[in-house]
Structures are given as C-alpha cells and as structure tokens.
Amino acid sequence: MTDYRVPAVVNAVRVLHELAQGDDAGQTAAELCRATGASKSSMHNLLGTLADEGLVARDSRTLAYRLGPTLITLGAAASGQTRLLDIATEELSRLAAEKDLSFAIGQPVSPYEVVIIDRFYPRDDVHVGVRLGATYGLYEGAIGKCLLAALDDAEVRNILHKRKVPAYTERTLTDPEQILAEVGQVRERGWAAARGELNENNVVAATVADRAGTPALFLLALGFAERFDDPVIEATGALLVGTAGRIRTAAGLGG
C-alpha cells in the first residue's frame, strides 16, 4: 500500500461504494456527507466533478445521486480484462502440461513495465522458474522488445539513445540499432525472443492486445538454452501468437 493516500480520491471511492450499496432511489448529498464524513462543501465539489465525468448521475426531481453511465463502460473493460486472464490461464496451463517449457502471464502496469501475475510449469521437476511479482522493463529481454514494439519509432529511438542499455549477460543486446532491428522483427512476426540476454535461459514472449490494439497481457515461454534452441524458439513464437489469437477470439475481441 502507498504511504500517502489522496483524500479527494479516497472520498470519491467512498461515495461510489455508498451508491453501489444503496437502493435504486439513490442518496442525496446530505446523506452521502453523513455516510462518508465529508464536509458539505467538499461533497458538493466532489459530486459535481463525478457528475461531469459521468461517474454519478443526479435526479433533478429528488436531488439524489446514483451511479453514472461511465461506470458501465469501465465495468465492461474490467470484465473483459478478467475474461482475457481466465482464458489465458486455461491456455497456458494446458501448454505447460504438453510442452517441456515453463509458461507465464505478465500484465502491463504502464507502457514501460510488466509484472508477472501467473506461471505454469511442466511435469518435469527440472524446469525454469519465474517469480510472481517480478517486473520487467523496456531494456529487459523478450518482454522489453515487445514493450518497445508497441511504441512509435520516434519514442523507441529516443529511449534507446538517451541512456546506455544495461548488459545483464555477455549476450545482452546493447547496440541501439541492433535492438531496433529486432523490434522491427517483433512487429512483423508478433513475438520476441531473448537468447540468454537476462540470464542463461531463453525466453519467448508475445502479447494479447485489447480492442484498441494495446497490449493487455504478455504470454511467456521459458526454457533452458540447451533444450530451447532456435528451431524450438521459432515454433514456440508461432505457438504463442496462435494462442494469443485464440484468447482474443474466445474473449470476443476477434482473432
């Protein structure tokens, strides 16, 4: 939890929760003040802002507030993300049982960072592990290449030239032009590979895009370099792209 909570945001969340738990008649500003402990002036400004954003709606006859129409759109988006994750979990769990590889799901926390939220291991007791909650950024392996591929060329060039790319191993790509070439390949084929660039293991990554085409989930396959060689990497990249398409189709987002 963050060390500092913004009071206005906390009050807004409390108001929304109060309205969600109330009846169809809604609640007046005075009732919401009593329920949340906010002052009349603060509640007036808060409800006005929420109404302008469509998060609450005011009945002109009763002066009561109800949840607004914008929440329907936000709820649908949240539901869609949950559906994507459920389907991705099912797909990667099956692949882990069939393939001699580890699989994982990452979720973007920003356009520049991904956190690992689930993992699936093969039946073999000896496999590559991945830590839940681990984060990866723009300069880090297959995920980093997928993140860069989602940005426009000008931003990618600026990112790669504004600071020295860190070398995690002897195989880490640090030359900006070489990375740009790989980013171009990611855009063409839909998947990225890192061959011993973060550690001794190899990784393949692909993205599952939302309706707007923005990466919503990252699918990863991980394996030991001696088993996860170039032919297997190529086949796994195509496999993850196909899996991403099936996930989108099953979630109603198209192939």
Q: Which pLDDT tens digit goes with each residue over 35-54? A: 888 899 999 999 999 999 88
Pair (232, 106) in one structural domain: yes
Confidence of residue 6 (pLDDT cuts 50, 70, 90): confident
Range of the domain at 40: 7-68
Question: Residue 80: what pLDDT?
Answer: 61
Is 172 a member of any domain? yes
Is 174 a member of any domain? yes
Type of residue numbered 124 = D
Where does the chain show beta strands of DSSP type E?
56-58, 65-67, 102-110, 113-120, 135-137, 191-195, 201-209, 215-224
pTM value? 0.72
Taking the C-alpha atoms of residue 138 and residue 240, their distance in angstroms, rounded to an integer, is 20
Confidence of residue 1 (pLDDT cuts 50, 70, 90): very low
Pair (108, 57) in one structural domain: no
Given a cut of 70, whether residue 179 has pLDDT beyond it is yes
Interval 141-159: pLDDT, tens: 999 999 999 999 999 999 9
The residue ranking higher by pLDDT, 207 or 23, is: 207
Given a cut of 70, whether residue 4 has pLDDT beyond it is no
Pair (30, 98) in one structural domain: no
Given a cut of 90, whether residue 184 has pLDDT beyond it is yes
Is 255 a member of any domain? no
Pair (199, 224) in one structural domain: yes
Given a cut of 90, whether residue 90 has pLDDT beyond it is yes
- Provide the b/e sequence for 2-35 (b: ≥16 CB within 10 Å): eeeeeeeeebbebbbebbeebeeebbbbeebbeb
CB atoms within 10 A of CB 128: 22
| 113-120/135-137 β-pairing | antiparallel
CATH of the domain at 102: 3.30.450.40
Taking the C-alpha atoms of residue 200 and residue 92, their distance in angstroms, rounded to an integer, is 23
Pair (91, 18) in one structural domain: no
Confidence of residue 255 (pLDDT cuts 50, 70, 90): low
Choose one of 23, 39, 68: the last residue of a domain.
Answer: 68
Pair (27, 106) in one structural domain: no
